[in-house]
Amino acid sequence: MDDDIAEIVGAGAPDDDDDDSPRGKEAWKEQSKAIERVISVALTLDRPRTADWVADEAAVSPQTARGHLGSLSELGIVAETTARGVTKYQIDAAYTRFREVSQYIERYEKDELIDVVKQTKERITTAKDRYGVDAPDELRAKTTHEDTPTEDIEEYKKAASEWETFEYRLDVLEEAIERYDEFSRTEVTA
Amino acid sequence: MGELQKVPGIENVHLERAQVEYQICADADTAIYADGAIDAADASVQINWWPEHDDTAADWYQFHYYDSAGFDCGWHRHANDHVDGLAHYQERSSDDADYDYYPTDLDYDNPTGILWETIGDRLPARLKHRYE
pTM across the whole model: 0.83
Long-range contacts of A115-121 (CB under 8 A, 24+ apart): A116/A173, A116/B17, A116/B20, A117/A170, A117/A173, A117/A174, A117/A177, A119/B19, A119/B20, A120/A166, A120/A169, A120/A170, A120/A173, A120/B20, A121/A170
Which pLDDT score, from 0 to 100, does residue A158 have? Answer: 82
Q: How far apart are CA A169 and CA A42, in angstroms?
A: 21
Give the mean pLDDT of B107-131.
Answer: 95
Q: How far apart are CA B95 and CA B73, in angstroms?
A: 11
Task: Tell me the nearest-neighbour CA distance from A65 into chain B, angstroms.
Answer: 15
Which pLDDT score, from 0 to 100, does residue A152 have? Answer: 87
Nearest CA in chain B to A155: B79
| Phi, psi for residue A22 in degrees, rounded to 5 | -65, 145
Which pLDDT score, from 0 to 100, does residue A161 have? Answer: 83
Q: Which of B72, B73, B63, B67 is nearest to B106 (CA)?
A: B63
**Cα A163 to the chain's mean position, in Å?**
15
Task: Tell me the nearest-neighbour CA distance from A80 into chain B, angstroms.
Answer: 17
Answer for the pair A27, B116: CB distance below 8 angstroms, yes or no.
yes
Task: Please name the amino acid found at residue B7.
Answer: V
Q: How far apart are CA B12 and CA A170, in angstroms?
A: 28
Which pLDDT score, from 0 to 100, does residue A15 have? Answer: 52
Which pLDDT score, from 0 to 100, does residue B61 have? Answer: 93
B117 pLDDT band (50/70/90 cuts)?
very high
3-state secondary structure of B47: strand
Measured between alpha carbons, how far apart are the two ends of chain A, in Å? Answer: 45
Give the mean pLDDT of B103-113.
Answer: 93
Residues of chain B with a CB closer than 8 angstroms to some CB in chain A: 3, 6-7, 15, 17, 19-20, 50-55, 59, 73, 75, 78-79, 89, 91, 100, 102-113, 116-118, 120-122, 125-126, 129
Q: Given a cut of 80, is residue B57 above it in pLDDT? A: no
Q: Which of B79, B99, B82 is nearest to B91 (CA)?
A: B99
Provide the chain A residues 52-91 that lie in CB contact (below 8 A) with chain B: 57-59
Answer for the pair A54, A69: CB distance below 8 angstroms, yes or no.
yes
Which pLDDT score, from 0 to 100, does residue A189 have? Answer: 52
A86-91/A78-83 β-pairing: antiparallel
Helix (H) or strand (E) holding B22: strand B21-28
Higher pLDDT, A20 or B132: B132
Number of Cβ pairs < 8 A linking chain A and chain B:
110
Task: Tell me the nearest-neighbour CA distance from B66 into chain A, angstroms.
Answer: 16
Helix (H) or strand (E) holding A60: none
CB contact under 8 A, A40 and B19: no
Is the CB of A94 inside 8 Å of chain B's CB atoms? no
Q: Given a cut of 60, is residue B31 above it in pLDDT? A: yes
Mean pLDDT of all residues in chain B?
A: 91
Strands (E), A23-175: 49-50, 78-83, 86-91
CB contact under 8 A, A27 and B7: yes
% residues pLDDT > 70 (chain B): 95
Give the contacts of A89 (CB within 8 A, at least 6 positions apart): A42, A45, A48, A49, A50, A51, A54, A69, A72, A73, A78, A79, A80
Q: How far apart are CA A96 and CA A91, in angstroms?
A: 7
* A154 interaction partners in chain B (CB closer than 8 Å): 79
B58 pLDDT band (50/70/90 cuts)?
confident
Below-50 pLDDT ranges, chain A = 17, 190
Strands (E), chain B: 10-18, 21-28, 43-50, 60-67, 72-77, 87-92, 100-103
Task: Tell me the nearest-neighbour CA distance from A142 into chain B, angstroms.
Answer: 16
